[in-house]
Structure 1
Amino acid sequence: MKIVSIAIALIAVAAATPASAQGACQPGTYRAADGDFVVLVPSPAVPEPGLRYQFRDGRRGATNEAGAPLACDGGAVSVGGKAWTRIAFRETPATFDSVETKLTGMLIEPPGADPRRPLVVMVHGSERSSPIGGLYGYAMAAQGLSVFVYDKRGTGASEGEYTQNFELLATDAAKALDTARRMAAGRFGRAGFFGGSQGGWVAPRAATLTKADFVAVGFGLVASPIEEDREQMVSEVRAAGLGADAEALVGRLSKATATLLLSNFAQGYAELDAVRREMAGKPWAAKVEGEYSGAMARLSDAELRRIGRARFDNLELIWDYDAVAVLRKLDTPLLWVLAGEDREAPIETTRGALMDLAAAGKPVDVYLFPETDHGMWEYVQHPDGSRDVTRLTDGYLKLLGDWIKGDVAGRYGRAEHLTGKR
C-alpha cells in the first residue's frame, strides 16, 4: 500500500483565531474534562512555529492556520474558551534486537501505574517515516492505553534495510511486544497489537509468534498484494464508469504481471504483450495504475526485461501472501475496521473473508465507516473522480481505544457494526 503525503484542508468549526496567536503552542497532548483530547506535534508539512493538531473526533490541521479551533497562550491550550490540561505521559526510550538488527522504540504510558491498563504495540504501514513523536501514539495513549511505538528496520533510528517482507516484519513486531511487556511489567493488563494499512498483514502474523491478547487492524487487507493490485484496477475502471469488458481486461493485465512477479521476471512477457495489444488505443488505459500493473504495462518489453525486477521486486514482498491462512490460525480476538470507499485497499475481498471467518466461529469484530478512503479519511470527490481529504472520520480513534480497553458502547460516528458482539 502506498503512503501519500496529503495536504489537509479543514472547514473552520470555531471562531477564527489569528495565526499569530498560535505561535506559543507547545507540543503535547491536552485533555478536556469530558475526556476529549487534542495532540500537538511538530510536522515537516507545517511551517514553524506551527504544529500539527489532531482531535479525538478526527479534526486535523495546523495551529497557525486561520480558523484553527484552539488557542495557545504561554504553553496553555484552550478550546472553545475552556482550558484543557496537558497530560504528563511517562516516555521511556528503548532499543531491542530482532534477527540480528537493533531497533529503536518508545514506551508511552499515561500517568499512574494501573495494573489493568492495556498495552498496545503500534505496527507500521508501508511508510518510512518514524512514528516516534507522531500523532497516533499519543492519540492512543490519551485514551488510557500504554503504547509502544518503534521505527521499522531501515527507518528512523533503527538499523537494517527497509523491507516489506511481512514475515520478517512480524518477527520484529513480536519482539517489540516482548520488549514492551518487560518495560511495563506490573503496569499493564492485556497486551496486543494495532496495525494500520500494511500493518494489517503484519500484526495478525506477529500475534501467532508471541502471546497477544488482542489484534486491532485499521484499513488493512485480507488479500495478497497481487489481489490488491487487481482490485485497485477494477476499482479504477468502475470509478471511471467503464463496463465489464474493461474489468476483464485489467483482470488479464493483473494475471500477466503476477506471472512475472511470481517467476522472478523469468516468465509472463508474452502474456503481458498480448494484453498491451488489447489495451492499445483505449483512452482509459493510460490512466490505469493498480499497485504496479499500470506502470509495468507502460514499459516496453525491452525495458521491463532490463529493469523490471530491480524496479518492482526489490523489497522482499511476498506477492501471494496468504492472509486468510494466518487468520485461520489466530484465535486471538480481532477487530477489523474497513474504509467503505477505500481506493488504496478495496474492501470487497477483505470484507467477504472476514465475514466467512466470523461465520466459522472466529472471534472477529468488523466495523465499516461509510464514505471514507484509505486511512479512514473523509473526502470531497470532484467530477473527474479525484478526491481531496478533509478529516479523519469521527468515531474511528474512539472505537480503537474503547475496543482495546474492552469497553465498546454506543455509536462511533457513522460506523456500521457488521459482525461480532457489542
Structure 2
Amino acid sequence: MHRIIFGLALAFSASFQPASAQQPACTAGTYAAADGDFVVLAPVPSIPAPGLRYLFRDGRRGATSEAKVPLACVDGIVTIGAARWQRIAFRETPASFESVGTRMTGVLIEPPGTDAKRPLVVMVHGSERNSPIGGVYGYAMAAQGISVFVYDKRGTGGSDGEYTQNFELLAADAAKALDTARGLAAGRHGRAGFFGGSQGGWVAPRAATLTKADFVAVGFGLVASPIEEDREQMVSEVRAAGLGQDAEAMVTRLSAATGRLLLSNFRDGYEQLDAVRAEMADKPWAAKIAGEYSGAIARMPNEELRRVGRARFDNLELIWDYDAVAALRKLDAPLLWVLAGEDREAPIETTRAALMGLKAAGKPVDVYLFPNTDHGMFEFTTGADGERSVTRITDGYLKLLGDWVKGDARGAYGRAEHLTAKR
C-alpha cells in the first residue's frame, strides 16, 4: 500500500547560490562537513542527467539542475557558502543471497575505517518498486557512521521473483538480508537491526522475530491492518471536509463491506455494499471518497467486481486483516516508531494508541511525532484545492534515526515530540 506521490515545490532563501550553465556537473556521492553535517547527491529517474537529487541532513531536498541550489560543485568538492565539504569514501560491497528459493541482490555500505562497535542496519523499504540501491536514504544513514545494507525487494531491481506485498514473505527476505549483512560485515559491526519505512513498518518487526535483531526502527508505518488503513484514510477525508459523524459512520460501513469482499475473494459482501451505496447515493461528497481502495470498489458495478475485482484489487498477496499488534507483542528488541502528525496515507490515530498501549505495558518502545508532516515525513504547503505539495523532509527526522540506531538519541530533533505513556 502507501502509493502517494507528491508534487515537488521547493522554495529556498535568497542566500542560496544560483546555478549557472558554466557550473561543473556535480558528482554523485556523499559529502560531509567537519561538524558531521552532510549532503547526499544521487541520480534519480525523475531528474534528467546530469542533474542529481540532493538531500541534506536537515531534510532540505531538490535537484542540482534547478535554478537555485544551496551548493556548488568544483573539482570533486561540494561547497556550501565558503565551506568545502569532502566526499566520504564509503566501502561498498555488492552481494547476492537466496531467500525462499529466490535470488536477491543488495549492497553493503560501510563508512571509512574499521569499528567493531559500529551499528549495522538493513533498510526494509515500502511498497515502491524502484531499487533503493544507489538512492539517497541508504547513504544518509551511512553518513552518520552506520553500516547499511540495502537490497532490491523480490521482483524489483536486480532481484528475481515476483513483486508482492505479502508481509510474511517480505519479512523472510528481510531476515535473510540481515543474516547476509552480518556475514559481509563480520568483525566490523556491533548491534544490528532493521529500519522500515511505510509498508516496511509491517515487515521489519516481523522480520525481527525470524532472526536475531538488536533493534527495529520504523518511520511513518502503521500498527493496523490494510483494511483498517483504508477505513482510517476515509475517516480522515470526511473529517478534513468537515462532514461530521454521520459521514464517518457511513464510510466505516463502506470499509466493512469492501473488507468483506476482499477477505472472501470477492464472493461475499455485495448486499452489504449495495446498502451502503444506497445510503451514499444522495451525498455529493461520496464521489470524491477514495480511501486506499474502497472508493474505487464502491464505484464499480457488482458484475465487474465479480469478474475482475480480485485481479484489480487483490493481486499482490496482501494480508488484508494482518494483526500488526500481535507481531509487535512478539518483538523483544527495542523499537523506535516515528509518526507523521498529518499523515493522509497512513493516519496515525489507531497506530499511536496501539504503540502507547505497548509502551504502557512495558515494551521497549520509543515514539516520536513530527507535527505538520505528511507520509514520508514531508513538510508541505496546501493549495486552495486542498492538494498538498512537498517542500522538504522535516528537520530532525534523519538525525533522529541515526542517533537512535547508534543508541544515542537525546535532546531535541527539530519539532519532534517524544511521546510518553500514561500509566
TM-score range with shorter-chain normalisation?
over 0.9
Partner of 1:11: 11
Deviation at 1:22, TM superposition (A): 4.4
Equivalent-residue separation in structure 1 for 2:160 and 2:139 (angstroms) = 24
Equivalent-residue separation in structure 2 for 1:21 and 1:250 (angstroms) = 56
1:111 is paired with a residue whose SS is coil
Task: Give the structure-1-normalised TM-score.
Answer: 0.98
Partner of 2:190: 189
Deviations 1:99-151 (A, max 9, x none): 00000000000000100000000001000000000000000000000000000
Partner of 1:280: 281
One-letter amino acid of the structure 2 residue matched with residue 184 of structure 1: A
Partner of 2:2: 2
Equivalent positions of 1:338-357 (< 5 A) are 338-357=339-358
Deviation at 1:210, TM superposition (A): 0.2
Deviations 1:55-98 (A, max 9, x none): 00000001111220000112221011210010000000000000
Equivalent-residue separation in structure 1 for 2:327 and 2:303 (angstroms) = 38
Deviation at 1:288, TM superposition (A): 0.4
* Unaligned segments of structure 1, at least 5 residues: none
2:369 is paired with a residue whose SS is strand
Equivalent-residue separation in structure 2 for 1:5 and 1:302 (angstroms) = 31
One-letter amino acid of the structure 1 residue matched with residue 2 of structure 2: K
Equivalent positions of 1:122-137 (< 5 A) are 122-137=123-138
Distance change >3 Å, CA 22–CA 242, structure 1 → 2: farther
Partner of 1:166: 167
Equivalent-residue separation in structure 1 for 2:7 and 2:222 (angstroms) = 25
* Unaligned segments of structure 2, at least 5 residues: none
Partner of 1:103: 104
Question: Identity percentage over the alignment?
Answer: 77
1:307 is paired with a residue whose SS is helix
Equivalent-residue separation in structure 2 for 1:86 and 1:16 (angstroms) = 20
Deviation at 1:18, TM superposition (A): 2.4
Deviations 1:254-305 (A, max 9, x none): 0000110111111001111111111112111111000100000000111111
Deviation at 1:21, TM superposition (A): 4.5
Question: Which range moved further: 77-86 or 380-389?
Answer: 380-389
1:249 is paired with a residue whose SS is helix
2:17–2:71 Cα contact (<8 Å) kept: no
1:343–1:373 Cα contact (<8 Å) kept: yes
1:116–1:189 Cα contact (<8 Å) kept: yes
Distance change >3 Å, CA 213–CA 294, structure 1 → 2: same
Deviation at 1:46, TM superposition (A): 1.2
Counterpart check, 1:359 vs 2:386: no
Task: Give the structure-2-normalised TM-score.
Answer: 0.98
Distance change >3 Å, CA 201–CA 304, structure 1 → 2: same
Partner of 2:212: 211
Question: Which range moved further: 121-130 or 16-25?
Answer: 16-25
Partner of 1:43: 44
Question: Which range moved further: 28-37 or 65-74?
Answer: 65-74
* Pairs aligned (count): 420
One-letter amino acid of the structure 2 residue matched with residue 337 of structure 1: V
Partner of 1:266: 267
Q: Give the superposed CA RMSD.
A: 1.0
1:361 is paired with a residue whose SS is coil
Partner of 1:222: 223
Distance change >3 Å, CA 22–CA 328, structure 1 → 2: farther
1:257–1:296 Cα contact (<8 Å) kept: yes
Question: Which range moved further: 88-97 or 13-22?
Answer: 13-22
One-letter amino acid of the structure 2 residue matched with residue 278 of structure 1: E
1:114 is paired with a residue whose SS is coil
1:200–1:221 Cα contact (<8 Å) kept: yes
2:18 is paired with a residue whose SS is coil
Partner of 1:335: 336
Equivalent-residue separation in structure 2 for 1:136 and 1:120 (angstroms) = 12
Counterpart check, 1:232 vs 2:239: no
Q: Provide runs of 4+ in structure 1 moved above 4 Å.
A: none
Deviation at 1:16, TM superposition (A): 3.5
Deviation at 1:23, TM superposition (A): 4.0
